[in-house]
Amino acid sequence: MRAPGKNGHLTVLGIETSCDETAAALVRRAADGRGETLGSVVRSQLDLHAAYGGVVPEIAARAHVEMLDAAIRQAMDEAKLDFAAIDAVAAAAGPGLVGGLIVGVTTAKAIALALKRPFIAINHLEAHALTAGLTDGLDFPYLLLLVSGGHTQLLIVKGVGAYERLGTTLDDALGEAFDKAAKLLGLGYPGGPEIEREAAKGRATIALPRPMLGRSEPHFSLAGLKTALRREAEARAPLSEHDITDLSASFQDAVADIVSDRTVRALELYRQRLGEGAQRTLVVAGGVAANRRLKTALQAVADAHGFRLVVPPPDLCSDNAVMIAWAGAMRLSQGLVDDLSAPIRARWPLDPDARPAIGAGVKA
Ligand code: KG4
Ligand code: ZN
């Protein structure tokens, strides 16, 4: 491996293609551990998938092929860097849609090979988990609530590659629940921002269930809430504007209650596991972290339990390549690099030792 750049700086090119964003970024990590974004490009494929109400894997993979080279070029231009300045190339290698992952990983390996620099295979979830180190200079350990379209997990982040999963969803991910709720209310995709906008105009007057409240393990279950929402919507069909805003507000409130309750349980477990002296920080990451109602609820939870709440800015919470490059820089600083035979992993749990959660379509 080539020695780190001047003054112990590490400059890493990151590539993200695990879902429907084609992204490339350059990040620099100083010897003192501080990070800096030098260039970042995110090309959303939203309009390509909008007509289908969700991401179509084949369309996503093809679009990544078409857009990735230009995204990398643009990120390099933004950073005003020559390829020779790159110390390593990192790419999301899972979990995610296999077609897209192949595009990103193959491109990253080719660049690494041509530059004679290390390739680093990044777990997309680890990248979300480590982002707060870049944005807030946060040290380990901390509790992470990861809420996106594909994942809903509560994890203790102990260090690079060291995670203890406390809770996960037994069925739908939180973002997925927002997307399905929006669809059945006739709103657009992605559903989270649509529900949030409608909810702001309505009142949470419709009784909806809060599944899993009070359970000792901080798992989630959201399918029942979605079914209850469907029943309430069907009972009111055809839906007036007023129905849509009130159903949205009621759904969002139910979600906030569920997330608060599950997070409180996880905070308790965090203190039990790490002791009362451990740093008390709660980090929220993933696209759903953009939701203001949720943020307010989590701020109240954090305040009540003496935790600091850290929510990276929305563009670094939703999928991006800065987080991939940063995770790459963290790994590189510890000598954790991969060889060119590193595989793609459609499933890649952060905590392989986590006990299986019993449920229908459990997501690791
Ligand atoms: O992390 P992300 O950009 O992509 C992955 O799934 O990895 O998350 C996208 C998800 C979508 O399900 C979207 O509906 C949800 O995040 N989301 C929101 C909000 N903004 C995005 N959910 C609730 N409220 C929002 N404001
Ligand atoms: Zn993500």
pLDDT digits (tens, 9 = 90+) for 302-357: 999 999 999 999 999 999 999 999 999 999 999 999 999 999 999 999 999 998 88
222 lines ligand 1 (CB under 6 A): no
Q: What angle do CA 63, 65, 69 make, to 5 degrees?
A: 115
Q: Position of tokens 């090979």?
A: 113
Can you tell me the mean pLDDT for 214-233?
96
Query: pLDDT class for 145, splitting at 50, 70, 90?
Result: very high
Nearest CA to ligand 1 atom 8: 287
CA 148 to ligand 2 center in whole angstroms? 6
Q: Is 154 left (phi over 0), alpha (psi -120 to 50) or beta?
A: beta
CA 210 to ligand 2 center in whole angstroms? 25
Per-chain mean pLDDT for the chain: 94
**pTM of the shown model:** 0.93
Report which ligand 1 atom has the smallest distance to the Cα of 151. Answer: 6
Taking Cα atoms as reference points, which of 92, 63, 296, 44 lies closest to residue 189? 44
312 lines ligand 1 (CB under 6 A): no
CA 121 to ligand 1 center in whole angstroms? 24
CA 218 to ligand 1 center in whole angstroms? 21
pLDDT computed for residue 20 by the predictor? 86
Give me the percent of the chain exceeding a pLDDT of 70.
96
Q: Model confidence over 187-218: pLDDT tens digits?
A: 988 899 999 999 999 999 999 999 999 999 99
Taking Cα atoms as reference points, which of 192, 153, 250 lies closest to residue 46? 192
287 lines ligand 1 (CB under 6 A): yes
288 is written with which tokens? 């759903």
Taking Cα atoms as reference points, which of 308, 13, 294 lies closest to residue 132? 308
Kindly identify the ligand whose nearest atom is closest to the C-alpha of 172: 1
148 lines ligand 1 (CB under 6 A): yes
Nearest CA to ligand 1 atom 19: 192
150 lines ligand 1 (CB under 6 A): yes
CA 3 to ligand 2 center in whole angstroms? 31
319 lines ligand 1 (CB under 6 A): yes
pLDDT computed for residue 364 by the predictor? 45
16 lines ligand 1 (CB under 6 A): no
CA 319 to ligand 2 center in whole angstroms? 5
Return d(Cα 143, Cα 337) in angstroms, integer.
26
Can you tell me the mean pLDDT for 127-142?
96
Instruction: Tell me the Cα Rg of the chain.
Output: 20
Can you tell me the mean pLDDT for 44-48?
83
Query: pLDDT class for 359, splitting at 50, 70, 90?
Result: low
Report which ligand 1 atom has the smallest distance to the Cα of 290. Answer: 26
Q: Model confidence over 237-253: pLDDT tens digits?
A: 999 999 999 999 999 99
Return d(Cα 140, Cα 201) in angstroms, integer.
40
Can you tell me the mean pLDDT for 144-159?
95
Taking Cα atoms as reference points, which of 197, 189, 198 lies closest to residue 47? 189
Contacts of 123 (CB under 8 A, 6+ apart): 92, 93, 94, 95, 327, 345, 348, 350
**Between residues 41 and 361, the one the model is more confident about:** 41
pLDDT computed for residue 189 by the predictor? 84
